[in-house]
Amino acid sequence: MSLNIHSISPSKVIRGEGAWSKSLESIAILCKRPLILGRSSSTKELRKSFKKDLLFQGVQAISLDLNHDCCESDIQKAYQFSQKNNCDGIIAAGGGKVLDAGKLIADLLGINCITVPLSASTCAGWTALSNIYTPDGKFIKDVALKRCPNLLIFDHNIVRTAPSRTLASGIADAVAKWYESSLTSSTSQDGFVQQAVQMARVLRDQLFINGYKAFNDPLSNSWEIVAEGCALTAGIIGGLGGARCRTAAAHPIHNGLTQLTYKNKPLHGELVGFGLIVQLHLEEKNSNSQLPKQAKSQLIDFLSQLNLPISIESICLSNATSNELYKACRFACKKDSDIHQLPFSINEKDLFEAIQSYQSLHTISNIGSK
């Protein structure tokens, strides 16, 4: 067996009701002058309250707001700001792109990293990976980090207040772990990978069983199972199974679609969910089995219950030209893309035709009736 190096999990995870207040002593041990990093104006007051809470622990935090998604210009600005102010830790509080930015800055500076997800939209608070985008949100690349965060704080009281759309997006992103890892890693002889794939299957089942109730009732036990599954368990799967358990076609399709211009840009998981539908369509075309078709029908029904996009039209691309879509497919099928981990060959023409099959909701209903 070849040598493998895994960054499996944060050093400590504090989760549940009131996790933030219960984490203050742990934060004080890790740093005395951290940078609190955020972006959204809707969570600015919350980040201010974090700063006040830390002051009572003798922690002199300073704040910086990102201007864009996790992009190189913001990373450089925050890096220099942290150096200038002698910061000894990063507290990243926000959605996936804020968490990715915080992890990368801490990694570059060699200081402690604390992630505080403010929604369950991704597992970015867990992983040793950051995705880099252009200032206007086009995916560029992912960067492997030296380690997972030192501390992850998942406070149910805080995450419950996030818009339900973010939970739905997280569900789509998390359920992708099964559809992608089972396809790319089904023949692996590595015990860790096999175990990660089975965790992904259990997570998928939990999301299917509890997803709709969690989406509609944030005070239910279903919400706890689903929110933690999206933000925490999905991260374990990637850490345990490695890169091959993270992505097949759905995430590369997401990366390609981010290259387009949107009036109302979809969330990460919304594009991944649509990418999953397209992935299953490609599997169906390249398989003699009926299983991909059945799985696709089940997935479309599930995503629809959560108001997640299931067509080009519903991801706000109804005005995209064929040339624009083709360019997105070319990006998704770049030579080094993970889409080539699929067990069959694929090029931009194949992907373009598959995406075009899901032009509108009406088209999907016709496909499902065949």
Tell me the backbone φ, ψ of residue 142, rounded to 5 degrees.
-110, 150
Give exposure, 112-138, as e/b (b: 16+ Cβ within 10 Å). bbbbbbbbbbbbbbbbbbbbbbeeebb
Cβ neighbours around 370 below 10 Å, total: 5
pLDDT score recorded for residue 58 = 96
Q: Residues near 10 by Cβ (< 8 Å), separated by ≥ 6?
A: 115, 126, 148, 149, 150, 151, 152
Structure tokens at 25: 């002593």
Report strand pairing: 139-144 vs 129-133: antiparallel
> Residue type for 55, please?
L
pLDDT score recorded for residue 369 = 43
Q: Rounded to an integer, what distance in angstroms lies between the CA atom of residue 24 and that of residue 41?
A: 24
> Residue type for 103, please?
K
Quickly tell me which residue has 């704080």 as its tokens.
153
Report strand pairing: 89-94 vs 62-65: unpaired
Structure tokens at 143: 């960067």
pLDDT score recorded for residue 368 = 47
- Report how far Cα 4 is from the mean position of its chain's Cα atoms: 23
Q: Rounded to an integer, what distance in angstroms lies between the CA atom of residue 279 and that of residue 275?
A: 6
Long-range pairs for 1-5: beta carbons < 8 A, 24 or more residues apart? 1/190, 4/190, 4/192, 4/242
pTM: 0.95
Whether 267 contacts 121, CB under 8 Å: yes
pLDDT score recorded for residue 19 = 98
Whether 148 contacts 125, CB under 8 Å: no
Please name each of the domains of the chain with its CATH number: 12-159 (3.40.50.1970), 173-369 (1.20.1090.10)
pLDDT score recorded for residue 319 = 82
Whether 282 contacts 350, CB under 8 Å: yes
pLDDT in tens, the chain (370 residues): 677 788 999 999 999 999 999 999 999 999 999 999 999 999 999 999 999 999 999 999 999 999 998 999 999 999 999 999 999 999 999 999 999 999 999 999 999 999 999 999 999 999 999 999 999 999 999 999 999 999 999 999 999 999 999 999 999 999 999 999 988 887 888 899 999 999 999 999 999 999 999 999 999 999 999 999 999 999 999 999 887 676 899 999 999 999 999 988 899 999 999 999 999 999 999 988 899 999 999 999 999 999 999 999 999 887 889 999 999 999 999 999 999 999 999 999 999 999 999 987 665 655 544 3
Q: Rounded to an integer, what distance in angstroms lies between the CA atom of residue 71 and that of residue 311?
A: 28
Q: Residues near 333 by Cβ (< 8 Å), separated by ≥ 6?
A: 252, 256, 339, 340, 346, 347, 348, 351
Q: Rounded to an integer, what distance in angstroms lies between the CA atom of residue 150 and that of residue 109?
A: 14
- Report how far Cα 104 is from the mean position of its chain's Cα atoms: 15
Whether 122 contacts 166, CB under 8 Å: no
